[in-house]
Amino acid sequence: MARGRISRLSVRDIRFPTSLGGHGSDAMHTDPDYSAAYVILETDAEDGLKGYGITFTLGRGTEVVVCAVNALAHHVLNRDVGDIVGDFRGFYRQLTSDGQLRWIGPEKGVVHLATAAVLNAVWDLWAKQEGKPLWKLLVDMDPRRLLSCIDFRYITDVLTEEEAHEILQRGQVGKRERGARETPDVDEHHVSTEEQMLTEGYPAYTTSCAWLGYPDATLQQLCSEALKDGWTRFKVKVGADLQDDIRRCRLIRNMIGPEKTLMMDANQRWDVPEAVEWMARLAEFRPLWIEEPTSPDDILGHAAISKALAPLGIGVATGEQCHNRVIFKQLLQAKALQFLQIDSCRLGSVNENLAVLLMAKKFDVPVCPHAGGVGLCELVQHLIIFDFISVSASLKDS
């Protein structure tokens, strides 16, 4: 049971000097220092439990997010945890629609990153009070209660609360009775989606081999090690220099062989026509997707790129910098992506991600989370495991 009154919110600016080794470097973020604004919530309950929430940042600017967290703090302090999670939609709305603060958003950029950090801490606190990991809290929650955490404002033209309820009801039926396993030699009627997650985990890919700032020798060494470790899906950063991309993609495709999966990531480097031309030149390396080919705000641009690359067998993936559910709604409406990448720290925490997972299910688009930054893997695994067990029930294209 949720309990206690929020007695303290503290926030820290935590930075790691990853730019020294070129870790995390891509075509647009050449010198990132992987960082986080780190929120800690304390209550007056005697259990001593604290809620920890973060948003991921790249170094400079973390102090701006910290400042925004402090600007939101008055909405959180002295509130009963039970009241917050009892009307979580209302609380989400209160944070995102503050009559003065929303002007500097709304629901985007710094204030929304700060909102994510605060709400991530609330969810962490709630899950701890319930004695469950977050994914289990979500999976066990009554569908009506779950939906009461979502602000449907601006998405009802695509997904009403009733439609969302039907999706969750269908997930309820499936989540204990069957898993939608793609492995044909296992009797799927005897393994529930939850059991499958607990025994086998969720599949992942690695980007760690092929950051843009790595020399070829480093790329080869890391790729070789990743193959030994059993990785089957590899992502390579592209977009800064075409000849360089051709050389690096050839290198990695030759190392992983024709069967394993290769994805490419341009980190918003291109304009729309440039994206289409560039990817036509990289098509020979058979990427599953091109990620972030252009501005994350360009829904119609992503739609045009998707249409142009479909005949080449290349999908479009995006989401890590899509700033709210309204953008995701339109990406789905416009058939602008074939792989939807939620982010646990850019959207308004679990609340807004639930809305996006449900919309993705309605449009039958697979969700492949963005992760890899400070805390992102640790956070997003809860969302994607919930998605598999209660919503999508599929590992296809995950």
CB of 355 to a copy of itself, least distance (A): 13
230 touching a copy of itself, by CB under 8 A? no
Q: At 42, is the secondary structure helix, strand, or coil?
A: strand
CB of 120 to a copy of itself, least distance (A): 16
377 touching a copy of itself, by CB under 8 A? no
Identified binder of a copy of itself from the candidate list 57, 129, 193, 196, rule CB under 8 A: 57
Nearest residue to 381 via CA among 36, 135, 116: 135
213 touching a copy of itself, by CB under 8 A? no
Q: What span, in angstroms and rounded, lies between the C-alpha atoms of 314 and 277?
A: 13
304 touching a copy of itself, by CB under 8 A? yes
Residue among 112, 136, 235, 370 flagged as catalytic: 370
60 touching a copy of itself, by CB under 8 A? yes
190 is catalytic: no
Which residue's CB is nearer to a copy of itself, number 101 or number 389?
Answer: 101
Q: Are 319 and 370 in contact (CB under 8 A)?
A: yes
Q: At 71, is the secondary structure helix, strand, or coil?
A: helix
Cis bond upstream, residue 296 (ω within 30): no
Stretch of 40-48, 150-158, 235-243, 280-288 contacting a copy of itself, by CB under 8 A: 150-158
Q: What span, in angstroms and rounded, lies between the C-alpha atoms of 50 and 8?
A: 10
Footprint on residues 102-131 left by a copy of itself (CB under 8 A):
102-113
* Beta strands per DSSP E along the chain: 6-15, 35-43, 50-57, 233-237, 261-265, 289-291, 315-318, 339-340
Stretch of 124-132, 208-216, 317-325, 358-366 contacting a copy of itself, by CB under 8 A: 317-325
Bridge partner residues of 264 (DSSP):
236, 290
Stretch of 179-187, 248-256, 264-272, 277-285 contacting a copy of itself, by CB under 8 A: 264-272
CB of 175 to a copy of itself, least distance (A): 30
| 198 half-sphere exposure, CB direction, 13 A CA radius | 11
Which residue's CB is nearer to a copy of itself, number 17 or number 86?
Answer: 17
Which residue's CB is nearer to a copy of itself, number 206 or number 330?
Answer: 330
CB of 295 to a copy of itself, least distance (A): 4
237 is catalytic: yes
Q: Are 118 and 95 in contact (CB under 8 A)?
A: yes
End-to-end CA distance of the chain: 34
64 touching a copy of itself, by CB under 8 A? yes
Q: Are 294 and 279 in contact (CB under 8 A)?
A: no
Residues that bind a copy of itself (rule: CB under 8 A) add up to a total of 63
Count of other CB atoms within 10 angstroms of residue 353? 28
35-43 sheet: strands from edge to edge: 6-15, 35-43, 50-57
Tell me the catalytic residues.
Answer: 237, 370
Using CB under 8 A, list all residues that contact a copy of itself.
28-33, 56-61, 63-65, 67-68, 71, 97-113, 153-157, 268, 271-274, 294-301, 304, 321, 323-324, 326-327, 329-330, 333-334
